[in-house]
Chain A
Amino acid sequence: AQRVTQPEKLLSVFKGAPVELKCNYSYSGSPELFWYVQYSRQRLQLLLRHISRESIKGFTADLNKGETSFHLKKPFAQEEDSAMYYCALSGRAGKSTFGDGTTLTVKP
Chain B
Amino acid sequence: DTGVSQDPRHKITKRGQNVTFRCDPISEHNRLYWYRQTLGQGPEFLTYFQNEAQLEKSRLLSDRFSAERPKGSFSTLEIQRTEQGDSAMYLCASSLDRQGIADTQYFGPGTRLTVL
B25 at interface, CB cutoff 8 A: no
Give the residues in chain A near B97, CB-CB below 8 Å.
94
CA distance A92 to B100 in the complex (A): 7
State whether A94 and B43 are in contact (beta carbons under 8 Å apart), knowing that A43-B108, A46-B104 are contacts in the complex: no
The closest CB in chain A to the CB of B43 belongs to A98
Q: Are B102 and A46 in contact, CB atoms less than 8 angstroms apart?
A: no
State whether A93 and B56 are in contact (beta carbons under 8 Å apart), knowing that A34-B104, A45-B107 are contacts in the complex: yes
Give the residues in chain A near B104, CB-CB below 8 Å.
34, 46, 49
Q: Total contacts A to B, CB within 8 angstroms?
A: 60
- Rounded to whole Å, the gap between the CB of A84 and the closest CB of chain B is 9
Q: Mark B87-106, 1 if CB is under 8 A from A, else 0.
A: 00001010001001110111
A97 at interface, CB cutoff 8 A: yes
- Rounded to whole Å, the gap between the CB of A39 and the closest CB of chain B is 13
- Rounded to whole Å, the gap between the CB of A68 and the closest CB of chain B is 18
- Interface size class of chain A, counting residues whose CB lies under 8 Å from the partner chain: 20 to 34
- Rounded to whole Å, the gap between the CB of B53 and the closest CB of chain A is 11
Give the residues in chain B near A9, CB-CB below 8 Å.
40
Q: Are B91 and A44 in contact, CB atoms less than 8 angstroms apart?
A: yes
B21 at interface, CB cutoff 8 A: no
Question: Which of B44, B100, B107 has the most chain A CB atoms closer than 10 A to its own CB?
Answer: B107
A96 at interface, CB cutoff 8 A: yes
B33 at interface, CB cutoff 8 A: yes
Q: Are B56 and A94 in contact, CB atoms less than 8 angstroms apart?
A: yes
Q: Are A100 and B42 in contact, CB atoms less than 8 angstroms apart?
A: yes
Chain B contacts to A: CB under 8 angstroms: 31, 33, 35, 40-45, 48, 50, 55-56, 58, 91, 93, 97, 100-102, 104-110
Chain A contacts to B: CB under 8 angstroms: 4, 6, 9, 32, 34, 36, 43-46, 49, 51, 86, 88, 90-101
Contacts A34-B104, A51-B101, A94-B97 known; list 18 others, CB within 8 Å: A6-B42, A32-B102, A36-B107, A43-B107, A43-B108, A45-B106, A49-B104, A90-B102, A94-B48, A94-B56, A95-B56, A96-B48, A96-B102, A98-B45, A99-B42, A100-B40, A100-B41, A101-B41
